[in-house]
Each structure stands twice: as structure tokens, then as C-alpha cells.
A and B are shown apart, each in its own frame.
Chain A
Amino acid sequence: MTATSDREQMAYISSQAADARVNVELDTGDMTLNIGPQHPATHGTLRIACQLDGEQVIRAEPMMGYMHRGYEKLCEVRTYPQCTTLINRIDWLGSFANEVPFILAAERLMEVEAPPRAQWIRTILFELSRVANLALFLGDMGVQIGALTPVFFAFRDRERVLNQIEEVTGGRFHPNFDRIGGLKDDIPKGWIEETRSVMVKMRTFCDEMEDLLVGNEIFQARCRGVGVIPPEVALGYGLSGANLRASGVDWDLRRDANPGLAWDQIEWRVWTHPDGDSFARYWVRLQETREATHMVDQLLDGLPSGPIMAKVPRIIKVPAGEAYVSTENPLGEMGYYVVSKGDLGPFRVKIRTPSFNNISIVPWVMKGVYVPDVITILGSLYFILGDIDR
């Protein structure tokens, strides 16, 4: 056949290709690809066994337990103040935020309320751990798709926030600072001004990330329309935090079920995105980080004076009862179901961690995606291994 025009030639080639597809049955056996246990996208040791048909994932099954430490069992043989040491190590990037719901649950059972100043400082440290935690995500998401620079910016700027947390609590990662009835200590002198300047720097960091990634064409091509989670599916799986808000569900426990911290006394807004894809999850977290810095500024302005500790006995015995308290942690809804029998320690603690539910959607969302997208989706769902395995 002599081609009279380009168009005819193209039509000929595509018809030949179509024939080939119909006539030749290629033997494409399934292949199992293990992602992890050691992979930068797994934030620890998560293994995902992907069954592949060519480049396409037909089944993805996460395998956990490489880091299962049995915290629910260990809490049963410790006293309440000793439990916070363990709880720090669940989501290790935002550890102060982990302590708060457990302490609030114990306080609810004891009918103790921390004084206002303690509640405000709790809220400040809570939001600071959110900024530190999400800052790492904002940079790390770049690494997942091949941009190395953002993560170095993230590590540099997160350190400033960690320094502020360390200055108050004495620990960068594991503050163990929250006490039943209040806080261990007050904030040091000069800390408020330093924190204000750090918050300005963190806002610059957010702007940098926006310039480097959100506006980047490659980033958009890799993230837009990838791993779309509709809202009703997200709710059924119990997705929470930015993953849920990126699916367009306007729900934030800080606003809707405030368990007593200072969030209802400042001006802020909940960010949502209608798309539900990887890009939306990134965008929502970026806005939340920026919002958190503004929240810290307001909280520092309105910080009330007064004691930081309510009157609690030296040996803490929590009256019998059950309480479920959950808060909006950096990763999502983290809750503790505490059953007490009037003893020095809890009878049973069920730790509801956000990452456990957030990752349980992986088999659903990975079905039919391509191998490179697996990493993008994992990165954008954002989980901490300690938060899954407990």
C-alpha cells in the first residue's frame, strides 16, 4: 500500500495494531512485586505485596506487623502517667498531639479539668506538632515523585519548630509533657517571641512549597486524578483528617467535637478540596499547615495567665467508667477508648489511630493503578508506621 497522506498512513498503522491485539494472545502472567518493607514511601517498615498484570496493579495487600509493639497490652500493666511515655511513640512525628486525647480521656473519667492556661499551652503545642509533622510531609511528597530539594527545605525548617517544642518540653520527639490535670511546666521566658518568628519562617516555607511543587507541571501530572477517593467510600473506610477533607467532606474534630481545648476561642477555617485525588490531599495539608501557623499566632496573643496544674492527688486513681475521646491529630482522628476499674492504671485501652484506617483503603484505591502511582498514592495518604502498628 502506498500512503497518499500522513493520515492514511496513520490509519493503516493503527488498524494493523488493532489486528495484532486481537490475533496475538500474549501470555502475560501475573507478577508479584513487593514494595517495602524498606522503602522511602513507607515511613518505616510497611510491605505492600502488589500483584501486577504488566504495569497495572490488580491487587495490593499491605502486610503489617513489622513494628507491632503491643501498646494496648502494655498500657494495661502501667499506671496512667506511665502510659503517656508509650503513647508518645505511636505517631512519632507529632508526639505531643498523641498524649492529649489520652490525658483528656483520663481527665473526663476523673472529672478534672485543666486550668485555662494549661489548655491554651496544650493547644499551642498541639498545633506546633501539627506544623512539624505536616512540614515533613510537604517536603517528603516531593521525594516520592523525584524532586529532592523540597525535603531538604522541610528538614531544615521543621527543625525550627522542633527546637521550640524542645525548649518547652525538653524533648524533640518524645515530650512526655502532658499531665492529668495540666502540664508539667510553664513555658520559658522569651519563648513567645521566638515562636512568633518561627511561625513567620514556616509561612515562608509553605510559600516555597507552593512555588516548588503545587505550581509544578510534573507534580500536577503525577498527582492530579491519581488515587481518587469519593467521599462515601472515604467515610465507610473511616478515613479521617486531611484525607477525608480532600474528598470534600467538611469535618474537623477541632471545630465539630472540641473536647475542651482552646480551638473554639480563635478564628480559623477548615480547608477542603472537592477532587479527592493525591493532589487534593497535598493541597489540603499545605493549607492546614499555613492555617496552623496562624492559629499559633492567635493562641500566643490570647494566652491567659493563671496556674498550669489543677489540684490532683499525687497517686492518680481513675474512677471506674468508660470514655472515648478523640482529637484531630496531624494524621487524622486519634482516639482512646479507656476502660477504668478504679485502679492505678487502665483496665483496657483501645487506641484508634488514624493511619490504621487511612491505610486500610489501600487495597481498594490501588486496584487498577500503575506502578509509579502506587508510590504517589502511598505518599499522599501519609501514614506513620508506628501509627498503624501501635
Chain B
Amino acid sequence: MTDETPPEENVDVDEKREALITSFSEILGEDLVESQLRPNEDLWLRVRSESWQDSIRAVQSAGFEYFGFLSAIDWEIAPEGRYEDTEFDGGLDEEDDEPVEVDSSTGYAGGESRFQILAQFYSLSQQVGVILKTDVGEDMTIDTIRDIFPGADWHERETYEMFGISFRGHPTLQPLYLPTEFEGHPLRKDFPLLARQVKPWPGVVDIEEIPEHLEAQLEAEVMAAFEANGGAS
């Protein structure tokens, strides 16, 4: 496993969370693939998908007894582009394609598959949250955790219908929101948003860039007006 600290130098070291990462790497052992620490934020831990249930159990017995949420991320880039408006996407391609492709498969604590499950838990005694991630393999199946945290029941049903990920051992894996005859998994990136195909999105951002010499002038005007106001209402 690798411990990554954010690149910023001026952030103070978060001892509480670092100690937690050390203890988690002891508890989880080989099951912990990667972790990410950002000061004063939730911890990110990525565990092996085979030991998803065991890891959750270990996290629960480590004092993280509050269940926050469970969901999934689809890391694929939407084939229609972000705005699903070909005219606009065509204009933006040269600028934006590159940075998007660079981190198409990463995210905090890394990942190797298209779909990732993530779940958040909170420890009331330590006042810190932890976000567990795991990769979903080709079979699109993962163990259920509703026996450990009953609140995960509905979250798993929602993830099932929205992403098409099955949960092994879940007794009532039926759609939660969608009608039973609905086809497809709406939150997958390749599921087209019909509204955008019918009508172009009127909210496309097309602000004219301010020329550099005007920008400085504009800012000076704003500051002058602000100071004239006495800095407050």
C-alpha cells in the first residue's frame, strides 16, 4: 500500500488520521490496496473486492458504527460528451479533451475497473469519517453489506438499478425508483440523457473572455466601489 499525502507543503500534518491509516493497514492487512489521506477530510481506503464484506465488518468493529451512504462511480467518459450537445462539444474539444483523458481511471485511492463501489462510515467517538472504495469486476457482482449495516439495503437497491451492479446475498434486489419494465441503467455514462438529444441545452457557458488590460481596470473599479462603501453594508 502507498500512503499519499497531498502535494501542498503548507498543510499541517494530521496525526489523528495518520494513526488511523496505520491501524487500518494493520487490521485489514493485504485487503487494503491503497489509501489516501487529506487533512481534516474523510479517509479514503480502497479494499479488495473479494474481502468487501470482511473489510466493512472490520471497519464497523473499529468504531465506525454510523452508516452514511453507499453508491457507485462509473469512470467511463460519456460517449456523447459532457453536454451531449455536439455543436458545443466540438468547439471545446481541443481545450478540454486532454486533461479529461489524463485522469480517466484514477480518483482518490486509485482504481482499476470501470465501476467502483464507495461507502461512507462515521465514527462518533473519534469524530472522523472513512470512505471505503472497491473495484467491481467483470461479473458486476459484489457482496451485500445489508446484514452488517441494515441501512445499506436501499442504497444497494438504488445502486443496482442505476448502475446494474448486483449484490450477492441481497434478498429483495428490486428497482427502488424506476418502474419494473424500465430498461437500462440511468447513471451509467453511456446511458443517453434523452432531454439533451431532443433539445440543445440552453445553459451552455459561452462567456466572452475579458481582455487582459480591461480585466485590471475592471477589478480596480470594483475595489474602488467596495472601499467607497466602507467595506460593509
Contact = CB atoms under 8 A, between A and B. Distances in A.
A309 B179 CA distance: 44
A256 B127 contact: yes
Interface string A230-259: 001101111100000000010100001100
A344 B205 contact: yes
B186 A235 contact: no
Contacts of A356: 154
Contact of B41 (A72, A323, A344): A323
B42 A324 contact: yes
A82 B83 CA distance: 13
Categorize the interface residue count of chain A.
35 or more
B140 interface: no
Contact of B150 (A68, A70, A236, A333): A236
Interface of A: 64-65, 68, 70, 72-74, 76-79, 82, 108, 117, 186-189, 232-233, 235-239, 249, 251, 256-257, 305-307, 314-315, 320-324, 326, 333, 335, 337, 339, 341-345, 348, 350, 352, 356-357, 360-361, 364, 389
B82 interface: yes
Contacts of A68: 177-178
A305 B187 contact: no
B151 A348 contact: no
Contacts of A256: 124, 127
Contacts of A77: 82-84, 193, 196, 201
Given A77-B196, A341-B100, A350-B69, A82 B203 contact: yes
A73 B42 CA distance: 24
Given A235-B65, A324-B131, A73 B103 contact: no
Nearest to B232: A305
B224 interface: no
Contacts of B162: 72
A254 B65 CA distance: 19
Given A321-B108, A343-B82, A238 B186 contact: no
B73 A339 contact: yes
B176 A65 contact: yes
Contacts of B175: 65
Contacts of B124: 235, 249, 251, 256
